Copies of this chain bind each other. A is one copy, B any other.
Amino acid sequence: MRAIMGPSSDILEKLAKDLEIPYVPLEMRMFPDGEVCPRITNVEDYDRVYLFNRADYRTFDPNRYLIEFYLMAKTLEDMDIKRIEIIMPYLPYGRQDKVFRLGEPFSLQYILEFFAQSGVSRMYTLMAHITRLSEIMDITKGMRVINISVVDAIVSYVRRLNLDNPYVIGPDTESEKWADALSHKLDAEYTVLDKTRDINTGEVRTKGPLPNLTGRQVVIIDDIVSTGKTIENAVKLIREKRPDSIHVVVVHGIFSGNAIDRLSKYDINIATSNTIYNPFSTICVEDLITRAIKKW
């Protein structure tokens, strides 16, 4: 018998309903020094449990989020649950998907191993930093990772905007795969901006070239918004070319620090998926998760 568990949330309820399995809300305590203590309050005779936890941008801490999942998975393992599958809409440390400088950790791989060695047999996630956009499957020390693509949900959202003459822009070269995929589906042009970081001052600069954008609706697309500086730089540059409107579409909205204040100054429309709850998380991923679970 299967069940889905996690701290109570709208998504958890929806997933349970769509999967037609019981849902078990978990208690989540945090001590003043930052230690967490999740508690599983109601365990029947389940043989397969889907463990779900969604981050909230107001309280999000990637390290706490990982430890929470770890403690919950280990507790289930101790309760002799045969199959533990985790649904982690946002996988932290995806940024470090290779070793950029000698001596740095290959963090994404290490985080996957961390769960693989904790009795987890399957992980469903909507990884943003990926080299391929399709659903990929990976085996890490016996744990199968199912990476759910968000591209179609994003394309549907942009289509619903009914833009006459869209122009897709990636705010840096890393976002090219997203810009390319979206522009292809919309049958629109795209370009990526050139973002450079000064090694000495740490200052980030973004430059074009950009065409005249009069009469066009710009769609900025990226995988993650964290401090919002990359998006802000892109918006400043794009405004000079006088587009009709600017839409920002992002997979994961972390909005750390004063990111929301930073972006609120501009006349732009922001939308993110609901992998992390935030004021702009209007693109829902529940159906994608349900479909992936049913498929795999």
Contacts and interface: CB of A to CB of B under 8 A. Distances in A.
A285 interface: no
B38 A63 contact: no
A39 B107 contact: no
Interface residues of A, number: 46
B74 A35 contact: no
Contacts of A36: 63
A120 to B, nearest CB: 12
Interface string A37-53: 11111110000000000
Interface in A67-92: 67, 70-72, 74-75, 78, 92
A117 B117 CA distance: 7
A43 B102 CA distance: 10
Among A35, A37, A38, A64, residue most surrounded by chain B Cβ atoms (within 10 Å): A35
A51 B63 CA distance: 20
B35 A103 contact: no
B93 A106 contact: no
Given A34-B61, A105-B75, A226-B32, A67 B66 contact: yes
A49 to B, nearest CB: 13
A110 B74 contact: yes
A256 B103 contact: no
A257 B34 CA distance: 10
A32 B74 contact: no
Given A70-B114, A95-B31, A105 B256 contact: no
